[in-house]
Amino acid sequence: MTDKHAEALADDIAYMRTLAAEGVQAPLLGGRFSLMWGVLVACATFAEWLILSDRVAWGANRIGLIWLAIGVLGSALSALLARSMRGKPGFGSVGNRVSKTVWSIGGLAIFIYVMGIVIAAMTGRGLASDFDTIMPMAFCVYGIAYFTTGSLAGNGAMKAVAGLSFLATLATAALLHQPVAYLAASAFVVLTAVLPGIWMMRHEPAALV
């Protein structure tokens, strides 16, 4: 272990001891990721609604290019944001370790589901409308991730966002195969990713307390 790593570990332990003495949980640190992905996905779903409802002259068969760009940009930004997490007080707390794991697995689950639909479409076994099922599935993953993280971190606000995520699953599934489903999805992404991301960032510790 290098001196830098040892110092960061010592700072983290000191921070956790301070929180334990005060009887509080370490703040969640994933706000920047939630905000970044939330903005990108909200923009993409809103753009898809504009296209599918014929408000913008852009071929529906090129919608995939928007999501491809979002995926590439989001992955690159995630890598950059991950670097800024190093040395953050409370990074090693149970809540933050669980949050990192559950969101990583949740993101992988969404990616695998999307790839399955893409493969089905490319082999002629799927329908274009199958892509409409991605948003309800993604919101369901959001709900599971938020509830798990909120429960272990003792964060009631995250549990509330989990409830909103499940409501988003219900709403977007009920509106399936209709352009308005993407408008609803865009609004729910703001409520379940953008705003929670801002809230978490405002509560991130800048230094030891």
DSSP 36-86: HHHHHHHHHHHHHHHHHTTSS---GGGHHHHHHHHHHHHHHHHHHHHHHHT
| Residue 100: predicted pLDDT | 80
Answer yes or no: are the C-beta atoms of 28 and 149 closer than 8 Å.
Answer: yes
Name the DSSP class of 204. Answer: S
Say if CB 158 and CB 149 are below 8 A apart. Answer: yes
Angle between helices 134-153 and 180-189 (to 10 degrees): 20
Instruction: Of 162, 170, 209, 33, give the one whose Cα is nearest residue 107.
Output: 33
Amino acid at the residue 46 = F
Q: Which two tokens stand for residue 21?
A: 């003495």
Q: What is the pLDDT of residue 94?
A: 62
Pick the closest to residue 158 from 98, 71, 75 (CA basis): 98
Structure-block tokens of residue 83:
């670097």
> What value does the CA radius of gyration of the chain take, rounded to a whole number of Å?
19
Q: List the structure tokens of 23.
A: 């009887």
Tell me the three-class secondary structure of 149-176, residue by residue. Answer: HHHHHCCHHHHHHHHHHHHHHHHHHHCC
Which two structure tokens, joined as six digits, stand for 161?
Answer: 């966002």
Instruction: State residue 128's pLDDT score.
Output: 86
DSSP character at residue 191:
I
Amino acid type, 57: A
Q: Strand, helix or coil at 107?
A: helix
The pLDDT of residue 141 is 96
Predicted local distance difference test score (pLDDT) of residue 106: 93
Tokens of residue 149, six digits: 């993280």
Q: What pLDDT was estimated at residue 98?
A: 76
| pLDDT on residue 53 | 93
pLDDT tens for the 209 residues of the chain, in order? 555 555 555 555 554 455 444 334 556 677 889 999 999 999 999 999 999 999 988 887 889 899 999 999 999 998 888 777 666 666 656 667 777 888 889 999 999 999 999 999 999 888 889 999 999 999 999 999 999 888 877 778 889 999 999 999 999 999 999 999 999 999 999 999 999 999 888 877 654 44
Q: Is 28 helix (H, G, I), strand (E, B) or coil?
A: coil
pLDDT of residue 161: 95
